[in-house]
Structure 1
C-alpha cells in the first residue's frame, strides 16, 4: 500500500497571475503596500537588508552602498536579479537609472514583486508499506 503525504506551507494568495513578464507594479506605486513604502522611505537601509535576505542574498549586502556618493550598484544588481529570476522584461540600463535616482522606490518595488510572486510550496513524500 502506498501512502501519500502532502504538506502545504502557509501562504498569502497572490492578487494576480505571477507568471507575467512585466513588473507587477510600477516604480512609484507605493500605495499598493504603504507599510513597506513607509519603512523603505524612512529606513531604507533596514528595509533593503530585509528584502535582500528574503531574496536569498546576504543580509548586510545593501549596507555596502548606503555610504556611497551617488551610484547604487547593489540596488541595481538586486533589481536585475529579481528581473532575471522572474523573467521580467527590461534592461540593465533601466535598472541602473531607477536604482540611481530612486533607491527606496526600487527596494519597495522589489519587495512588492517578491510578495506578488510567492507560490505554494508543496512537499510530497510517498511511503510504501509492506
Structure 2
C-alpha cells in the first residue's frame, strides 16, 4: 500500500487557489498622499483607525508600545491581512517590515483593504 502525498496543503484565505501579491509595495506610501501624511505624522491614530476597519479592537495597536524591539501588533496585523487575502510572504518579511517601517506597514494594510474592497451594491458592479 503506497501512502505518498501527491499535493501540498493550500493556504487558507479568500484566494486559496491563487497565491496573490500585495496590491502595492511597502514603499508605495505616497500613492495616497493624504493617508501617507496622516500615518507619518500620527501613526498611533492611523493604526488604531485601520485596526478598527479590519474589525479589531480600536486600541489594539497601542500595545506596540509594550514591545521592546519589535512591534508585535503591527506584525500580527500584517500577517492577518496576508492570510485573509492569501498574499504570498513570510513571517520574517512581516517582522522586518514591522520593525523598520511601522508607518509604511499600516499604510500598506490600509491600501490593501481599499483595493480588495467589494462593491456594496449591484449598481457598482454594473458600472465597472
TM-score by length of 1: 0.76
Q: Indicate conservation of the 8 Å contact 1:70/1:100, yes or no.
A: yes
Say which structure, 1 or 2, has more relative contact order (CA 8 Å, 6+ apart).
1
| TM-score, normalised with respect to structure 2 | 0.77
| Runs ≥4 residues deviating over 2 A | 66-70
Give unpaired runs (5+ residues) of structure 2: 1-17, 123-128
- C-alpha contact 1:45 1:66 (8 A) present in aligned 2: no
Inter-partner Cα distance in structure 2 for 1:103 and 1:42? 12
> Displacement, 1:122?
5.2
Superposed, 1:1-130 pairs within 5 Å as 21-66=20-65, 68-121=67-120
What are structure 1's unaligned runs of at least 5 residues? 1-18, 124-130
Q: Which has the higher helix share?
A: 2
The CA deviation at 1:32 is: 1.1
Distance 2:83 2:50 in 1: 16
Aligned-pair Cα RMSD in Å:
1.7
